[in-house]
Amino acid sequence: MALVTMIRETKTDWEGGYFPLTLQFDDNYPTTSPSCKFPAGFFHVNVYDSGVVCLSILGDGWKPSITVKQVLVGIQELLDDPNPNSAAQHRCYELYKKNMPEYKKRVREQARRYPSRVQSSCENSPQLDIVVAF
């Protein structure tokens, strides 16, 4: 199991948030994908209420050649650019499609619920810092 901290430093609605993500690898890895999970109740179009991430490369699109880095980059991209065609939370999907200002407000509220606990060494970097602890 790996615990990953995803920190948004750029000017996005996710800015300043510290988002704990758990990657669980079973005995069949890399034949099967890792399970990737945010805390239960995480607000995002492509994250189930349980916290499980809904991302194609973690399901039918999995190949043993996909690296952990590719998984993390895919999740990073999903945070900023949700896929409404693969919605995992109906409430998030409805806000995303019909009330973008309220959706963005909820994202900013969530970022405040998970304040950053790790200082970035690249404070002016437009990229996501990923801190992995085993």
Per residue in 6-42, is it b (16+ CB within 10 Å) or e — as a string? bbbbeebbbeebbbebebeeeeeeeeebbebbbeeeb
Is the pLDDT at 107 greater than 80? The verdict is: yes
Q: Residue type at 38?
A: F
Q: Residue 115 contacts by C-beta under 8 Å, 6 or more apart in sequence? A: 16, 17, 18
Average pLDDT, the chain: 84
Domains along the sequence of the chain with CATH = 2-133 (3.10.110.10)
What local confidence, expressed as pLDDT, does residue 76 receive?
87
Catalytic residue among 36, 54, 92, 122: 54
Q: What's the pTM value of the predicted model, to 2 decimals? A: 0.81
Read off the tokens for 108: 């900013």
What local confidence, expressed as pLDDT, does residue 94 receive?
97
Examine the residue annotation and report whether 54 is marked as an active-site residue of this protein.
yes
Residue 104 region by backbone torsions, left for phi larger than 0, else alpha for psi between -120 and 50, else beta = alpha
Is the pLDDT at 125 greater than 60? The verdict is: no
